[in-house]
Structure 1
Amino acid sequence: MSKTEKFWDSASKNYDKTEERFEYIHNKSRENTKRYLKDSDTVLDYGCGTGTASCQFSGLVKEIHAIDISSKMIEIANEKAAASKIENVRFEQSDIFDKKYSNESYDVILALNMLHTVTSPRDMMRRINELLKPEGVFISVTPCLRQKMSFLVNLQIQLVRVLCKTGLIPIPIRRITSSEVDDLLEIAEFQTVESEEIYKGASSYFVVVKKLRKT
């Protein structure tokens, strides 16, 4: 088991509680996302965490494949789905680079609040482009840790950065901006459909892009 997986397994116990302070951003982002989901869609929720978003979206789409590298996160997600009797979401401990995921197999791919933690954002964007069907939709929400935030959130981010440098948090926490997200999407040859800066104590960037159909 990698250090990253161990970290997220440990974080899973209090994950939902720690995210409550950003509930306005999460709710706003999910409501925005729902406008792009259709009952015929096959969706990949990459970095699904404890499965809250996938469970909320389940009634709007055909099926959701929800993946996370943390087995403990997946356990909690499965418990949520079972409690709500959701049958069209498959939670699995996995990574988006696994070869079992076929190119051009998803109508929609979600990456909610995780782009700032991945090892190689460019590689991730390319992989998402590969997995999307032509004219498929990618929806991302990213905390922008170099933009506006409250004093308290800023103090917490500074503490996290120190813990990252000492190795106590074994994941990269990037201080990314919305313009840098746009640059990554452009390099991966996506076309922007909608974007919105959402703020409630911290800045978060909601963006919807479409995979261009090759001529």
Structure 2
Amino acid sequence: MSEPENSMRVPPKIGTIKLITAGRITGLPHVVELRYTHQDDSFYVLAGRANTDWVSNALKSESSKVHVGGLVFKVEASVASEKERKSVSEDFVRRYGRRVVKDWYADAEIALRLRQKGPPSLKGEVGGELDSKSSFGAWQSRHLKYESEVSAAFNSASEEYDFTISRNFVNTWIRSRSISLLLNYIRRSDTLLEIGCGTGAEAIKISPHVRRIFATDVAKGMIGLLRLKIKARRLENIVPIEVRASEIARVREYLPDHKVRIAYSFNGALNCEPHLIEFVRGVSSVLEEDGYLICSIRNRLCITEALSHAVALQFGRLNPRKFQPIMVSVGGRDIPSTYYAPSEFVDFFRVEFKLRKTIALPALLPPAYLNSYYVRFRHVMSILERLEPYLGGSFPLNRLGDQTLFVFQKM
């Protein structure tokens, strides 16, 4: 084995790995973050219970993967021998300390060996939204096709997407608040259209309240995961469709009477659509008269972001969104995304829509990529969450959040 290949087979020594297995019944990706040790081309992990889901999945699955430090290893799982387990326990003490091992692994029922099935593939480490390591100029110089790169980035993110979002309090708060605001407008008889559905988390939560949802996304990987969820949960009123936002008019053939009363798009999907004028025309064509488009986009200026960096004396990062487009990290890949000032975004809609409401998401909490700082001090700052419903829609805070949610009504 050559020296470069050999170095690729040895993972970087960082604190945890992500083990990705396929659900035994659903086939859905199951992601768990684990402490580990690495010996002889194998990862070793300890589990508190031998019958926990991820252990059972790993032992049955032939497609398990370990993601560590930007590398993805295909692995084969087996129960470690007593000799291996003893060696693993000793290595855990050296890596993590006797107290961690005593508190977390004293009663571990099983040790797993995850044997590497060859050299890894490269995948950028999944980080925060603004953790991009490349500049727009460098990206532009590669002459890449934007739509293909966006699709590839979200395909790359799809397996770990739900895991990443669910572990971020601010992200889950934004999702819950967005859904709550949408529910104020819908009727049980409605058919909805979602633009940028991702893995379908929002559609699944909204589906009990409506007749049907046509959920669209540009990424094949996201749509594939939504189909698996629909099958596993026997959801009959969600229809996944792979289509770009700017081509949303193509879904008319699937819609009852070729129209819906409400379309929605959350979490900045439209920031990655370079043809917004075409999108506006397309979504207008599928909306009923007086129908609503409820959408949220990443804002060009976030006051809590500026304040957070000021408190940390990071004055050079007070407004990292100043120059557009901005590079963002999605699924370990860097892609350009265009953040908008609220007035700038509204201008795209003036001919076809009236603006009915503008709400900051959030107004007082920091952006999701600063989640770890907020969670650390949440015990003294949670009052901000209670104030959000009262201040998030008030000027000028409603124009200064990480994201801005707009309620447009078709004229």
TM over 0.5: yes
Query: Which residue does 2:241 correspond to in 1?
Result: 92
Could you tell me which amino acid in structure 2 is paired with residue 182 of structure 1? V
Per-residue displacement from partner, 1:35-69 (whole Å, max 9, x unpaired)?
Answer: 11111211111110010111111111111110111
Query: Which residue does 1:7 correspond to in 2?
Result: 153
Equivalent pair of 2:249/2:285 in contact (CA under 8 Å): no
Query: Which residue does 2:190 correspond to in 1?
Result: 41
**Residues 89 and 3 (structure 1), Cα distance of their counterparts in 2 relative to 1, 3 Å cut:** same
User: Aligned to 1:142, which of 297, 314, 317?
Assistant: 297
Query: Which residue does 1:109 correspond to in 2?
Result: 263
Could you tell me which amino acid in structure 2 is paired with residue 10 of structure 1? S
Could you tell me which amino acid in structure 1 is paired with residue 366 of structure 2? G
**Residues 138 and 17 (structure 1), Cα distance of their counterparts in 2 relative to 1, 3 Å cut:** same
SS of match in other structure, 2:340: coil
Matched, 1:189 2:352: yes
Alpha-carbon separation, structure 2, partners of 1:144 and 1:76: 28
Could you tell me which amino acid in structure 2 is paired with residue 193 of structure 1? R
Deviation at residue 145 of structure 1 after TM alignment: 3.8
Superposed counterparts of 1:51-70, under 5 Å: 51-70=200-219
Per-residue displacement from partner, 1:8-59 (whole Å, max 9, x unpaired)?
Answer: 1101122223334211111111101111111121111111001011111111
Query: Which residue does 2:279 correspond to in 1?
Result: 124
**Residues 198 and 95 (structure 1), Cα distance of their counterparts in 2 relative to 1, 3 Å cut:** closer
Query: Which residue does 2:163 correspond to in 1?
Result: 17
Alpha-carbon separation, structure 2, partners of 1:50 and 1:142: 18
What percent of counterpart residues are identical?
A: 23
**Residues 181 and 163 (structure 1), Cα distance of their counterparts in 2 relative to 1, 3 Å cut:** closer
Query: Which residue does 1:173 correspond to in 2?
Result: 337
Deviation at residue 99 of structure 1 after TM alignment: 5.7
Equivalent pair of 2:248/2:282 in contact (CA under 8 Å): no
Alpha-carbon separation, structure 1, partners of 2:339 and 2:248: 27
Give the TM-score normalised by the residue count of structure 1: 0.83
Aligned residues: 204
Matched, 1:201 2:350: no
Q: Which has the higher contact order (CA 8 A, sep 6+)?
A: 1
SS of match in other structure, 1:38: coil
Could you tell me which amino acid in structure 2 is paired with residue 142 of structure 1? I
Alpha-carbon separation, structure 1, partners of 2:297 and 2:225: 23
Deviation at residue 198 of structure 1 after TM alignment: 2.3
Query: Which residue does 2:378 correspond to in 1?
Result: none
Per-residue displacement from partner, 1:155-174 (whole Å, max 9, x unpaired)?
Answer: 9x67x94568xxx524x311
Equivalent pair of 2:326/2:339 in contact (CA under 8 Å): no
Equivalent pair of 1:195/1:205 in contact (CA under 8 Å): yes
Alpha-carbon separation, structure 1, partners of 2:236 and 2:361: 32
Root-mean-square deviation over aligned CA pairs: 2.6
Return 5+ residue gaps in structure 2 as ranges: 1-146, 368-401
Alpha-carbon separation, structure 2, partners of 1:163 and 1:99: 28
Alpha-carbon separation, structure 2, partners of 1:189 and 1:129: 7
Larger radius of gyration: 2
Equivalent pair of 1:44/1:64 in contact (CA under 8 Å): yes
**Residues 5 and 40 (structure 1), Cα distance of their counterparts in 2 relative to 1, 3 Å cut:** same
Per-residue displacement from partner, 1:110-143 (whole Å, max 9, x unpaired)?
Answer: 1112121111222212211121111111010112
